[in-house]
Amino acid sequence: MLDALLKEYQLKLNSRFDILLSANGQLYDEVVKACRYATIDGGKRIRPVLLLEFYKLCGKDDDCAYNFACALEMIHSYSLVHDDLPCMDNDELRRGKPSCHKAFGESIALLCGDALLTEAFLLASKTLGIPSDCVVKALSHLASNAGVNGMIGGQVIDMADNSEVDDDVLFEMYRLKTGALLKTACAIGCILAGADDSYVAIAEKFGEKVGIAFQIIDDILDTVSDTKTLGKNVGSDEKNNKDTIVVRLGVEYCRELAKKYTNEAYECLDNFDGDTTNLRALAAYLLERNY
């Protein structure tokens, strides 16, 4: 059932990206082509799906949040493009194809990330059919979680030599680098639906828990999976001498830890009155995923 739901969302999001990111004969088409390349193919679309499912859970049954959902995925795509650059993780494969800088060169890949980030905010600001105070609140939530105190901050911790730091620092890195964008996805769904702040806070908690579990599983897959299944090179952490919680505590312990965080995420959902079946299935899928 979740498979069908994800497919439906993926199709709807892709058809929007197809229109939003279309080269139209400008001198700078190359960067638009890179944006399409980095955004349209592949990608599980977890963040926009979380946003749209929380929007629904808060009682809204319309397509008004789609611009925002696409904007969020564009920010996620930009982070992957920049994360793969030689000055970051230096990865040559992403979503089963050459990473953006391998296909378009480093300069265009850098600009592609910049473009996706900037255009994302333009697109999100064009959210129609939702009260503008909700849209502004959602924009602010997104910016603060994608920025220095969120994803960027997490990436800075990740780039440092973490071999001597406490485990807590690695968890903080997970919370920011990966958790912040998942958290804001959940919160924005509630904010755009006009939900009470108390529900926004619960959605944030859910996103944070799922986010930490997600990164733990990501690190596990980096050690136990293979390139074909993942669509990106495995052993990336080892190659970059990265100390992860999985290297420190072992795969089995970390699987249990990811389960614990996922169970805590389920508990957050108990606070909502609506139907949380899809969100529960999504959290379970993220725990059990193999790519």
Binding site for ligand GRG (CB under 6 A): 42-44, 46, 76, 79-80, 82-83, 88, 95, 151-152, 155, 177-178, 215, 218
**Of 89 and 204, which has the nearer Cβ to ligand GRG?**
89
**Of 188 and 193, which has the nearer Cβ to ligand GRG?**
188
At its nearest, how many Å lie between ligand GRG and the CB of residue 59?
Answer: 27
**Of 118 and 132, which has the nearer Cβ to ligand GRG?**
118
At its nearest, how many Å lie between ligand GRG and the CB of residue 104?
Answer: 16
At its nearest, how many Å lie between ligand GRG and the CB of residue 95?
Answer: 5
DSSP collapsed to 3 states, the chain: CHHHHHHHHHHHHHHHHHHHCCCCCCCCHHHHHHHHHHHCCCCCCHHHHHHHHHHHHCCCCCCCCHHHHHHHHHHHHHHHHHHHCCCCCCCCEECCEECHHHHHCHHHHHHHHHHHHHHHHHHHHCCCCCCHHHHHHHHHHHHHHHCCCCHHHHHHHHHCCCCCCCHHHHHHHHHHHHHHHHHHHHHHHHHHCCCCHHHHHHHHHHHHHHHHHHHHHHHHHHHHCCHHHHCCCCCHHHHCCCCCHHHHHCHHHHHHHHHHHHHHHHHHHCCCCCCCHHHHHHHHHHHHCCC
**Of 120 and 195, which has the nearer Cβ to ligand GRG?**
120
At its nearest, how many Å lie between ligand GRG and the CB of residue 46?
Answer: 5
